[in-house]
Amino acid sequence: MRRLLILLSAVLLLSACQPVSQAPLHHETISITDSFGSRQVQVNPKRVAIFSMDILDIIDTIGLEHFEIDLLGLPQESVPANLKQYKDKAYKNVGTLFEVNYDAMDLFDPQLIILSGRLLPLAKELQSKYPDADILDVSLPDYSLKNGLVQNVNNLAQIFPQVSERLHANLEVILQAMADIAHHTQEIEALFLLVNANTISYYGPKGRFGVVYNEFNYTPADHKDDEGGTHGKSVS
């Protein structure tokens, strides 16, 4: 009997020493739509890398604390003056608006990467390097500020449902302000010029600043030219 008790005790001890298998973590997902199509993404990601100052501005307006993000990464050299608090060491510097710092991103291990502009061509590379991360395109579709705002707010509200009401309330204020401006500007002519060093470029209704004419309702000063594209038409 003594030997049997010793044997049973040894078996129990060995069993207790075996590693406990853990079930894989399953994150809640939701469907969103952007230029990459419709797909499932993780709800409430905790490590978020943002390469869009527009989205950073939206998050700051609502209040970063309400998004319940644990780690925020961003291109700190590109942060505008009104968001200068995000240059603090509490936030991770993960590159620029033109280039990703992969060493920093590897350590950051993002769960959500928000892209726009010049970094969009890197989407496939980023997805390959960080297969567990979701990538969200927040570029304005067809240069439309209204459509872009609506799409981006809807996607953010899906991904961070706890701020959905705040996001949509602020969106309604912005859309109403845009409508009010458009109501008073339909008979006012405007010419959009962009000065870059020694070059002056003009943008018409089909250009990336077409929002001036198409959504704020100004009349193009040059009725014969609907210059489009991202670079405009040089006038100097």
Show the tokens assigned to 111: 């769960």
pLDDT in tens, 16-59: 454 444 444 567 999 999 999 999 999 999 999 999 999 999 99
- Cα–Cα distance list, 160 to 6, 108, 155, 230 (Å): 56, 20, 8, 32
Q: Tens of pLDDT along 111-128?
A: 999 999 889 999 999 999
Residues in contact with 193: Cβ distance below 8 Å, sequence separation at least 6, in sequence order: 200, 201, 202, 203, 235
The whole-number pLDDT of residue 8 equals 43
What is the model's pLDDT at position 10? 47
pLDDT for position 206:
85
The pLDDT assigned to 37 comes to: 92
Domain boundaries in the chain?
29-180, 189-234
pLDDT at 2 (0 to 100): 52
Q: What is the pLDDT of residue 21?
A: 40
Q: Which fold has domain 29-180?
A: Rossmann fold (3.40.50)
**10-residue mean pLDDT series, the chain (236 residues):** 47 46 63 94 98 97 97 96 96 96 97 94 96 96 92 98 98 96 93 87 86 93 71 74
pLDDT of residue 233: 78
